[in-house]
Amino acid sequence: MGIGMQRCQHLAADKAPLSKSLLLVPSAISILLTLLFQHYQKFFAYNLQAIKEDFQIWRLVCGRVICLDLKDTFCSSLLIYNFRIFERRYGSRKFSSFLLGAWTLSALFDLLLVEAAQYVFGITINSLPSGFLGPVFALFVPFYCSIPRVQVTQVLGYFSITNKTLVYILGLQLLTSGSYIWILALSGLISGICYNSSILKVHRILCVPSWVAKIFSWTLEPIFSSAEPTNEIRVGMGATVDIQRQQRMELLDRQIMMSQVAQMRRQRQQQGGMINWNRLFPPLRHRHNENYQDHHPSDQDTPPPTEVSEEQVARLMEMGFSRGDALEALRASNNDLNVATNFLLQH
């Protein structure tokens, strides 16, 4: 199963109905509870004392789905919007399994961290901020591990602004919005690490059954799906002229690489053998130094194959790429996981 199959899977999951439902439904309920139905807010409070002493287990569900603070609603909605890339990459079932596992594990870690805070610091915590916050913080784990870091610009020549900076700023804003929200953040991060761990194998236990995924596919997808994306590559409008120029250069770079990939594949079909991926990466490394269209490195300049880390190969295969494509990309990028991932995602 090669990159073509992977791209087909991306297109099939491009609608991201689960992310859209998590973005719209809890936000709408939160706004209604804040503006019109304040007397019903008590049913959505994350009251730990009622859970432990009165065994109101239902509060674990109601109190950990709907935000009662509009600031938390706004920040978590923006983060879910940015994290929809995981549903498009892995599919709705795998994405929902991660959210289910993170939600379940973070509920357990919430209780453990509250007891630990009371034992170590003598802090009695009777309630925590409400909302779908544990899984949102858990999504920072795959975001940090699997999304390539691409520099957009620099501030004062020292501080790099990347494609991930805004997401981290939103997470920091959410982290500082409440007094005890750090407990939810810590439990979410721990649950994300546990779920992603290849040692604990939590993803094999806490997963959404296929029949449940089919039911939600039949119900949610017709409601929350959107039109299929076009084949053209969109360029976001940058905030400054420098950012816009950088985006246009990246677009040109992708177009050059795609044309070179098509040419290489035609040559491989005619001659056989492996694609010379090293001819595809120089535009990424020499973006500001060379003219890409006139740059044609000779075969004599191609370095010999380098040792490839099996751990990095495994990480690329977990993202859905075939072993052969992962090996070629890592050899061509000199074991640079970010460069290899970024190229494979674009093709």
For 100-121, how does the pLDDT look when each residue is reduced to its tens digit (9 = 90+)? 999 999 999 999 999 998 888 8
Q: Give, as one character, the DSSP assignment of residue 303.
A: P
Tens of each residue's pLDDT in the chain, 347 residues:
344 444 444 434 456 888 888 888 999 999 999 988 889 888 999 988 888 888 888 888 888 899 888 999 999 999 999 898 888 888 888 898 999 999 999 999 999 999 998 888 888 888 899 999 999 999 999 999 888 877 777 777 677 788 888 899 999 999 998 888 999 999 999 999 998 887 778 888 888 888 888 888 787 777 776 554 444 444 444 445 555 555 666 665 565 556 555 555 565 555 554 444 444 444 444 444 444 444 444 444 555 556 777 778 877 776 767 788 888 888 877 777 777 777 777 66
Helix axes 241-271, 337-346, angle to 10 degrees: 80
Reading phi first (left if > 0) and then psi (alpha if -120 to 50, else beta), residue 334 is in left
CA distance 42 to 33: 10
Long-range contacts at 252-255 (CB < 8 A, ≥ 24 apart): 252/292, 253/283, 253/284, 253/287, 253/292, 254/346
* SS3 at position 84: helix
Distance of CA 190 to the CA centre of its chain: 16
Token couple for 236: 């976001």
Secondary structure element (H or E) that encloses residue 46, with its range = strand 46-47
Q: Give, as one character, the DSSP assignment of residue 123.
A: -
Tokens 């491989």 belong to: 268
7-22 confidence digits (pLDDT tens): 444 434 456 888 888 8
* SS3 at position 157: coil
Radius of gyration of the chain (CA): 23
Q: Which amino acid is at 320?
A: G
Reading phi first (left if > 0) and then psi (alpha if -120 to 50, else beta), residue 91 is in left
pLDDT at residue 121 in the model: 87
CA distance 38 to 35: 7
Query: 145 near 196, Cβ under 8 Å?
Result: yes
Query: 148 near 342, Cβ under 8 Å?
Result: yes
Give the angle 44-46-52 at the CA atoms, nearest 5°. Answer: 125
End-to-end CA distance of the chain: 14
Q: CB neighbours of 159 closer than 8 A, spacing ≥ 6?
A: none
CA distance 16 to 226: 9
Secondary structure element (H or E) that encloses residue 72, with its range = helix 70-82
pTM over 0.85: no
CA distance 92 to 97: 8
Please, which residues bridge with residue 132 across strands?
A: none
CA distance 325 to 335: 13
Closest CA to 105 of 137, 135, 125, 77: 135
Query: 67 near 25, Cβ under 8 Å?
Result: no
Please, which residues bridge with residue 230 across strands?
A: none
Distance of CA 250 to the CA centre of its chain: 21
Query: 132 near 65, Cβ under 8 Å?
Result: yes
